[in-house]
């Protein structure tokens, strides 16, 4: 059964200004099982989901460890006019104490590394379309970039994450089926 909107951690009506001197929260781009706000609430209780993001020039894969990863695309791989030109994910405001917890959950530095990238904030927590450039942090496994098969426990977590992102945050269901679910169905 898909999660209901009331089950999803809603974004808060707030404005965030981040400067190097007073950095309190970072913008985190979740493209795998952390798109589940339930999972993120368990891992990072002070994080706040704020909308849907898009990372251009990257490709979503399941790597040989059996988990989601993103890899840079070569220019020849990009098909103009399709969602395959990048990766969609959920954006969270992540305070420092939750960032440390998430680093542990993500296996930094042996499994994933933290990378800061430019992305687009495409939909806010109220479902309004946006097109705002943002700097965000994500976790990338730069060592294991070959495609693999997902672990069964990870498929269960990804299904929950996809349902949450589609039902509550505006992720396109066809994109999820074509790019994500096609790797295990």
The verdict on whether residue 165 carries a ligand-binding annotation is no
The verdict on whether residue 53 carries a ligand-binding annotation is no
In angstroms, the Cα distances linking 114 to 19, 43, 75, 154, 170 are: 19, 17, 24, 21, 26
- Is position 106 annotated as part of the catalytic site? yes
Residue 81 CA to chain centroid, in angstroms? 22
* Cα separation, 83 vs 81, whole angstroms: 7
The verdict on whether residue 182 carries a ligand-binding annotation is no
The verdict on whether residue 30 carries a ligand-binding annotation is yes
In angstroms, the Cα distances linking 80 to 2, 69, 77, 85, 119 are: 32, 22, 9, 7, 18
The verdict on whether residue 177 carries a ligand-binding annotation is no
Determine the 3-state secondary structure of 176 from DSSP.
Answer: helix
The verdict on whether residue 31 carries a ligand-binding annotation is yes
For 61, phi then psi, to 5°, come to -140, 165
The verdict on whether residue 67 carries a ligand-binding annotation is no
Annotated catalytic residue: which of 6, 77, 84, 106? 106
Rg (CA), the chain: 15
- Binding-site residue numbers for substrate are 28-33, 154
Per the annotation, binding residues are 28-33, 154
Residues labelled as active-site residues:
106
């Amino acid at each position: 059964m898909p999660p209901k909107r009331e089950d999803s951690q809603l974004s808060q009506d707030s404005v965030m200004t981040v400067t190097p001197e007073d950095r309190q929260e970072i913008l985190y781009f979740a493209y795998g099982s952390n798109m589940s706000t339930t999972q993120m609430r368990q891992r990072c209780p002070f994080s706040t989901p704020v909308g849907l993001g898009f990372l251009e020039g990257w490709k979503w894969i399941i790597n040989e460890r059996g988990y989601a990863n993103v890899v840079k695309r070569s220019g020849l791989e990009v098909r103009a006019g399709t969602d395959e030109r990048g990766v969609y994910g959920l954006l969270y405001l992540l305070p420092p104490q939750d960032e440390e917890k998430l680093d542990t959950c993500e296996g930094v530095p042996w499994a994933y590394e933290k990378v800061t990238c430019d992305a687009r904030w495409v939909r806010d927590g109220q479902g309004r379309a946006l097109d705002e450039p943002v700097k965000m942090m994500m976790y990338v496994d730069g060592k294991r970039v070959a495609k693999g098969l997902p672990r069964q426990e990870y498929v269960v977590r990804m299904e929950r994450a996809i349902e949450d992102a589609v039902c509550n945050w505006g992720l396109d269901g066809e994109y999820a089926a074509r790019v994500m679910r096609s790797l295990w169905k």
